[in-house]
Amino acid sequence: MISYRSVTKRFADGTVAVQDFSLDVPRGTLTVLAGSSGCGKTTLMRMVNRMVDPSSGQVLVDGEDVAGRDPVALRRRIGYVMQNSGLLPHRTVAQNIATVPRLNGVDRRAARRRTGEMMELVGLDAKLADRYPAQLSGGQQQRVGVARGLAADPDILLMDEPFGAVDPLVRSELQRQLRQLHGQIGTTILFVTHDMDEALALGDQIVLLRAGADIAQQGTPREFVAEPANDFVRTFLGLDRGQRTLHRERAADGSIVVVDAHGRPAGVLAEPDGRPDDGAHPGAAADGGPRPGIQDAPGA
Amino acid sequence: MISYRSVTKRFADGTVAVQDFSLDVPRGTLTVLAGSSGCGKTTLMRMVNRMVDPSSGQVLVDGEDVAGRDPVALRRRIGYVMQNSGLLPHRTVAQNIATVPRLNGVDRRAARRRTGEMMELVGLDAKLADRYPAQLSGGQQQRVGVARGLAADPDILLMDEPFGAVDPLVRSELQRQLRQLHGQIGTTILFVTHDMDEALALGDQIVLLRAGADIAQQGTPREFVAEPANDFVRTFLGLDRGQRTLHRERAADGSIVVVDAHGRPAGVLAEPDGRPDDGAHPGAAADGGPRPGIQDAPGA
Amino acid sequence: MNWVLDNLPLIADRTWAHLATSLPAILAALVISVPLGWLAHRYRILNGPVLTGAGLMYAIPSLPLFIVLPVLIGTGVRDVVNVVVALTLYGVALLVRSVADGLDGVPPEARGAAVALGYPPLRRFLTVDLPLAGPVILSGLRVVAVSTVSLCTVGAVLGIPSLGLLFTDGFQRGILAEILTGIVLTVVLALALDRLLVVLGRLAMPWTRAEAGA
Amino acid sequence: MNQLWEAVLWCLDPAHWTGPSGIAARSLEHLGYTLLAVVIAAAIAVPIGWWVGHTGRGRGAAVALSGAARALPTLGVLTLTALLLGIGLAGPMTAFVILAVPSILAAAYAGFEAVDRRVIDAARAQGYTGAQVLWQIEVPLGLPVLVGGLRSAALQVVATATLAAYVGAGGLGRYLFLGLKTQDYAMMLGSSLLVVVLALVLDGVFALAGRAAVPRGVTVARRGVNA
Amino acid sequence: GSSDPLGGQDTASGSSSATGGTGGSGDALVIGSQQYYSNEIIAELYAQALEAEGYTVERDYQIGQREVYLPEVESGAIDVMPEYGGNLLQYYDAEATATSPEDIQAALTEVLPQGLRPLEPAEATDQDSYNVTRAFAEKHSLTSLADLKNVDEPLKVAANSEFETRPYGPAGLKEAYGVDVTVVPVEDSGGPLTVKALVDGDVQLADIYSADPSIAAEDLVTLEDPENLILPQNVTPIASEAVDEEAAAIIEKVNAKLTPEALIGLNRESVEKEASSEDIAQAWLAGQGLS
Ligand SMILES: Nc1ncnc2c1ncn2[C@@H]1O[C@H](COP(=O)(O)OP(=O)(O)OP(=O)(O)O)[C@@H](O)[C@H]1O
Ligand SMILES: Nc1ncnc2c1ncn2[C@@H]1O[C@H](COP(=O)(O)OP(=O)(O)OP(=O)(O)O)[C@@H](O)[C@H]1O
Ligand SMILES: [Mg+2]
Ligand SMILES: [Mg+2]
């Protein structure tokens, strides 16, 4: 559990990156901080592991103010995954993953074993262990980043736009894996993105921020789409440009294509059992369906 | 009209980037080359203005093989816009836009006038004319790049992931503008992206490539969504992971939310007139609705 | 080339003396430059003074420096220590900038990642910042090695043994072969040292090859 | 430190400043040698460096060449050329030029290499010819680095130009050798101080030139000014 | 003096042995030499002669300047040093008036610091001398410095820079012979560059050491010095107290055979045959029956 209590951050140059921000991140959830560039997402995230100290207010982890904790020790208990993976370029994959265990004094043998487990967990081929980051693809690097973040079995995992730099194909695969992983390990994850699609796909809870880390809306993905709190949220979701207001059209093969206001196809409408919708059962499976991962997804 | 005739490109190091590729790009259309990283998109595009010469096969522009044309003269007749804009950092916005007219010997006065027109066309404030690229935001830089590409009134505009580096909010705005611009000027545009959403949003025609520029499918956006040719296309579209197979669910406020297989909301279903769908009129406005830009988009 | 064959022991002696003077200077320059470069990198206010000061040191003519140094550090004029110290100063003048540049060039993501992972500061400097600055420092060190070996010859004017004595002696006696031998050996020594550093660098920084190949 | 003070007094003595072998004349000579050497070295190194940077060819050779030039001991080159060419400026000038070439050569191609490849690629795609890319993009954008190279070359030469006096030419080295041989340490140290002052002046001039060489668009980028 | 930055320090003689040695045993005699090939040959003569008589010798050659090596001699780090009478005297007594070899030797005994003594000088000298090319001498019928005042073109003399300030330099020449010259400094102590400058016609006069074989090789004319402007520079070894009478006698025996012609011959071996000092000394000593 992470709690922000009226946190403000004013940088030395006078920039107020975060103004009077309060939020609870419940234990075991995946909370997404979304918002466009410069709104203070990274600053908020870095307050948790004391890479940034708040100018006023408090950040609590499990009820205890982090200001009172030794930063180095604190950071070793909190995983951190960043954009472009932030891997140490002069360390092999295995050495990167083993960083925190090794810093914590775990012996070489045990660290190596842990590395193997972690690579398996994030779906990395064991053969890659002795490569250097530059010898990996972007997606592989991100996986190593996640593995490294998890290697010391942290209570909290901070992820700062971890998938921002990878191919969209790889990105959605990584997102899928992260959801699955989160279901498995139940670590509290704080995830930063400026991509609303990603936020909707991943978050148990989404916090959409304006400049200065001003909360525009906080809620589940579904609440965001169905009940955007204000115009800012609508704009950010693309609702005001009709991107998320969809129309049905019948395609040549008879299936129902759902298109947005620009005629851009969003997908094919299907019945809950996965067969294409013939248009005969409107309203089926309405009212707040099952959580992802619980329902057997069609085609998955 | 651009035609590729059995084009193959083998680089000096032996990489075969393009293998026996043939395609017609009809005059005045916006054709998107899509496909993941390294599949040969940039290589194909650069064959048109002879930045790359094919190892075998021909590239014809208006029926004439470009191999017979002087590269410098050819390039001045073909606009080119690339990721990160490629602006000259030591030239002002106006000087950057006027590059090709000036190279073509247009006098300073006339070039300046043309610059003004171009800036208006791409929606750039005239006050920015004397700024340097570093003083612009990423989105503004891309607009300057587009203006520069169009300044010499080219018959063909090549765009290589022009919006890859900008904020998603700005990106969708740039995409909207590009469609509008294309409607206005009717230049033949060859557009490269690895983002399928972008391809669906922009293309009159989409060509999805596998490694080696092997065509996986070629068609309109609607054909792609409704009739993906094979598993590769389905995967690339995200159909196989259910991302584009949508279900209706009723939200708390009674509106119909369309969600994908993971429960990730794709949007709110509406009637063609823009009111939220009450679920009572299935199949309405089926069969290949109006082209974007012609219909008055709701909320636009 | 008769001269060379007739004087092999002398040449070996001079070469050995040359190495014995320049190698310690190169090493000392490296050891001193790292903390100085770190200061220049870490504290912006020190950056200007340290780097300009280092640059100007290079503008001091070597001959008077060789003569003044003994007064300042209290050694005998013919003491090899003088030349080693003088060469070290010139080496530091070049290398401080490389160290500062190298540290400045450490990717902020890597540095940030190391902080986030919970590296204590000193350990981070030694095991993350310094190795990542390594390639830039190495290229600076190569320049220092080459120019130190070359500069070492000036000490001969004061009679401090090095290959430079072949120049002064050959000059007085008008023996071109002797001067040429000195020049060739100095260049060979410098370039051999340069190669050696490249090889050592490759061994010490295996990831640079991976990056080049990727 | 007493010695240093006497050296300063020597420099400040107006009697030492005038006449054909006064400090003023010798300093000008010294400066002249330095600039001449840098100009000659630039005339050799800049075209080669630009060619290497522009074509991307011969980089290995250029690196090896500047490495070898750096390794050439100035004293050796000086004595050798003196024996071959006799007294006068030709010998020392050869040595100074060899000294100045590596920095300038490296700066000339490094300046080009520092130019963002995408910018050049974009320019070619707009229809710039090779020569236009060279003169309108690579040269202006590579200039600051080149000026930096000229700066360090000039500093190295100004210190080494004292050796011109070794073989009968002028410059501040005259005082240096005279002071050295006659145990006039005030004169010897004084002339060294003058060389350092000259270096400071040159350094300042090149720093200004370097700043002026940075194209405005790049200056604003560095300052991080934003829209 | 004590304000001399080069003086007064102890010098570690770590930089020794160009041609071998015995590795610093306590009773070894240390023989030094100037950074001048001819001086090194003389030192090598002494060294080999001493070795032939069973002495252990350490060589410490090619030391830059008087200011550098004399303090080492004074401190006992060097035991034997071949010197030149006139210049050595002027080093210790700038006001000295002695002009004949005998007077100089007598004066040296006076001024040398405690513990040092000059050994018997050789007949060989190696002193500054004004030289012109044969062609120039014939054109202006020159044999002596006094004849220079008849030359109507401006005279430039190539010499080390300190020549400018020496008593036998331009000022002395003016005073003794009424001749005006300007100095072109060439820092090779009358070496090949100076000779080349003279032969090439860059200068009209050159200060060249009298034992330099190039005077003969280039067919130069050394101008006579009837006013004794230039101090004689007889080869004069100085010795520390570590040099016992027997060793001194050995050195003096070498000196006795060292005529001006012999010294020029030795130098020629070095410059023209490019032989090492070791080989030159060995051959010469054998020829003189001294080894
Ligand atoms: N060290 C700092 N000094 C001064 N200002 C800073 C500093 N770090 C961040 N800022 C400013 O604080 C604001 C918030 O920055 P932050 O990095 O938290 O934004 P962000 O939401 O993570 O943006 P992005 O999506 O671009 O990463 C920005 O205006 C930024 O310029
Ligand atoms: N100059 C070159 N020399 C050798 N191989 C090259 C060269 N240029 C491109 N390639 C290779 O050709 C293939 C196609 O490259 P291309 O740049 O066309 O891909 P792309 O589809 O544009 O990829 P991206 O989306 O990453 O820009 C890749 O494997 C690439 O590594
Ligand atoms: Mg951020
Ligand atoms: Mg590409």
* Interface contacts (B, D; CB < 8 Å): 85
Q: Starting from the CA of residue B15, give the closest ligand.
A: 2
Which chain D residues contact residue B80 at CB under 8 A? 122, 125-126
The residue length of chain B stands at 300
d(CA B98, CA B281): 54
How far, CA to CA in Å, does A81 sit from each of A4, A141, D146, E51? 20, 11, 40, 78
Query: Mean pLDDT across chain D, nearest whole number?
Result: 87
pLDDT at E107: 93
Three-class SS state of C210: helix
> From edge to edge, which strands make up the β-sheet containing B30-34?
B78-82, B156-160, B188-193, B30-34, B205-210, B214-219
Q: Quick check: E187 and D182 CB within 8 A?
A: no
Three-class SS state of A224: helix
pLDDT for residue C195 is more than 90: yes
* B265-269 vs B188-193, strand pairing mode: unpaired
Q: Does D88 touch chain E (CB under 8 A)?
A: yes
Q: Which of B46, B76, B91 sits opposite D217 (nearest CB)?
A: B91
Q: What is the DSSP letter of E159?
A: E
pLDDT at A270: 65
d(CA C110, CA A101): 18
Q: Whose CA is nearest to atom 23 of ligand 1?
A: A38
Domains contained in chain D, CATH given: 2-226 (1.10.3720.10)
Residue E15 near residue C160, CB atoms below 8 Å: yes
Radius of gyration for the alpha carbons in chain D, expressed in angstroms and rounded: 21
How distant is the Cα of A155 from the closest Cα of chain C, in angstroms? 14
d(CA B221, CA B179): 14
Spans of chain A below 50 pLDDT:
272-300
* Residue numbers of B between 24 and 43 with CB closer than 8 Å to A: 36-37
pLDDT average, residue stretch D58-66: 88
Query: Among the residues of chain E, which ranges form H helices?
Result: 37-52, 66-75, 85-92, 101-111, 134-139, 170-177, 192-199, 214-217, 245-257, 260-272, 277-288
Where does the pLDDT of residue D19 fall: very low under 50, low under 70, confident under 90, or very high at 90 and above?
confident
What are the beta bridge partners of residue A249? A257
Q: Chains near C, with 3+ CB pairs < 8 A?
A: A, D, E
Q: Does B75 touch chain D (CB under 8 A)?
A: yes
Residue A38 near residue A83, CB atoms below 8 Å: no
Q: Which two tokens stand for residue D124?
A: 């070619």
Give A47-85 pLDDT, tens digit per residue: 999 999 999 999 999 999 999 999 999 999 999 998 777
Domain count, chain C: 1
pLDDT at E235: 95
E38 φ, ψ (degrees, to nearest 5): -65, -40
d(CA C76, CA A169): 72
pLDDT at E25: 41
What are the beta bridge partners of residue B256? B250
d(CA E163, CA E156): 13
How far, in Å, from the CA of B38 to the mean position of ligand 4? 7
Three-class SS state of E126: coil
pTM, to two decimals? 0.81
What are the beta bridge partners of residue A2? A25, A61
Domain hosting residue C203, numbered range: 2-213
Q: Starting from the CA of residue B209, give the closest ligand.
A: 2
Where does the pLDDT of residue C38 fall: very low under 50, low under 70, confident under 90, or very high at 90 and above?
very high
pLDDT at B261: 59
Q: Whose CA is nearest to atom 22 of ligand 2?
A: B42
User: D194: how many CB neighbours lie within 10 A of its CB?
Assistant: 21
Distance from the Cα of residue A150 to its chain's centroid: 14
pLDDT at D88: 81
Q: Which two tokens stand for residue A31?
A: 């909370």
DSSP C1-66: -HHHHHTHHHHHHHHHHHHHHHHHHHHHHHHHHHHHHHHHHH-HHHHHHHHHHHHHHTTS-HHHHH
Task: List, as own/partner pairs, every contact residues E286-290 make where C-beta atoms lie below 8 angstroms and the sequence separation is at least 24, other chains included.
Answer: E288/E254, E288/E257, E290/E49, E290/E52, E290/E253, E290/E254, E290/E257
d(CA E248, CA E31): 13
Q: What is the DSSP letter of D16?
A: G
How distant is the Cα of E186 from the closest Cα of chain D, in angstroms? 5
Where does the pLDDT of residue D222 fall: very low under 50, low under 70, confident under 90, or very high at 90 and above?
low
pLDDT at A255: 67
Q: Quick check: B257 and A172 CB within 8 A?
A: no
How far, CA to CA in Å, does B283 sit from each of A209, A250, B267, B287? 38, 7, 18, 9
User: A177: how many CB neighbours lie within 10 A of its CB?
Assistant: 16
In sequence order, the 6+-apart residues with CB closer than 8 A to the CB of B238 are A172, B196, B244
Which chain C residue's Cα is nearest to A135? C214
CATH of the domain at C11: 1.10.3720.10
How far, in Å, from the CA of A137 to the mean position of ligand 4? 16
Q: For residue B197, which of B175, B229, B165 has the smallest C-alpha distance?
A: B175
pLDDT along chain E (291 residues), means of 10: 35 35 59 92 95 92 82 90 91 85 92 92 92 94 91 91 85 91 86 90 93 92 90 92 93 94 93 90 92 74
Enumerate residues lining ligand 2, CB below 6 A: B 11, 13, 15, 17, 37-43, 194
How far, in Å, from the CA of B277 to the mean position of ligand 3? 38
Distance from the Cα of residue E81 to its chain's centroid: 11
How far, in Å, from the CA of A37 to the mean position of ligand 3? 7
Three-class SS state of D130: helix
Distance from the Cα of residue D176 to its chain's centroid: 21
Helix C80-104 vs helix C8-42: crossing angle, to nearest 10: 40
Q: For residue E189, which of E127, E246, E231 has the smallest C-alpha distance?
A: E127
Query: What distance, in Å, lies between the first and last C-alpha atoms of chain A?
Result: 32
Helix E192-199 vs helix C164-173: crossing angle, to nearest 10: 40
Q: Is the CB of A119 under 6 A from ligand 1?
A: no
Atom nearest to B46 CA in ligand 2: 18
Three-class SS state of A32: strand
Region of E112 (left: φ > 0; alpha: ψ -120 to 50; beta: rest) is beta
Q: Quick check: B72 and D126 CB within 8 A?
A: no
The proportion of chain C whose per-residue pLDDT surpasses 70, expressed as a percent, equals 98
pLDDT at A237: 77
A286 φ, ψ (degrees, to nearest 5): -75, -160
pLDDT at B181: 87
d(CA D203, CA D195): 12
Q: For residue A101, which of A32, A170, A51, A153 has the smallest C-alpha distance?
A: A153
Residue E138 near residue E205, CB atoms below 8 Å: no
d(CA A202, CA A156): 16
Token look-up 């500093």 returns D155
Q: Does E193 touch chain C (CB under 8 A)?
A: yes
Q: Quick check: D177 and E161 CB within 8 A?
A: yes
Distance from the Cα of residue D46 to its chain's centroid: 13
Q: Which two tokens stand for residue E160?
A: 């080390």
Q: Quick check: D178 and E184 CB within 8 A?
A: no
How far, CA to CA in Å, does E240 sit from each of A164, B41, C182, E237? 83, 89, 35, 10
Q: For residue B176, which of D147, A162, E15, A264 has the smallest C-alpha distance?
A: A264
C-alpha torsion sign, points B85, B88, B92, B96: negative
How far, in Å, from the CA of D176 to the mean position of ligand 3? 60
Q: Quick check: E68 and C168 CB within 8 A?
A: no
User: E94: how many CB neighbours lie within 10 A of its CB?
Assistant: 8
C-alpha torsion sign, points E31, E35, E40, E43: negative
pLDDT average, residue stretch C86-98: 92
- For C32, counting Cβ atoms within 10 Å of its Cβ (0-12 exposed, 13-18 middle, 19+ buried), the class is middle
Q: Please give the angle made by the CA atoms of B139, B144 and B145, to the nearest 5 degrees.
A: 95
Spans of chain B below 70 pLDDT:
168, 238-247, 249-255, 259-268, 270-300
How far, CA to CA in Å, does D22 sit from each of D152, D168, E55? 28, 16, 54
Query: Among the residues of E127-244, which ranges form H helices?
Result: 134-139, 170-177, 192-199, 214-217
pLDDT at B238: 66
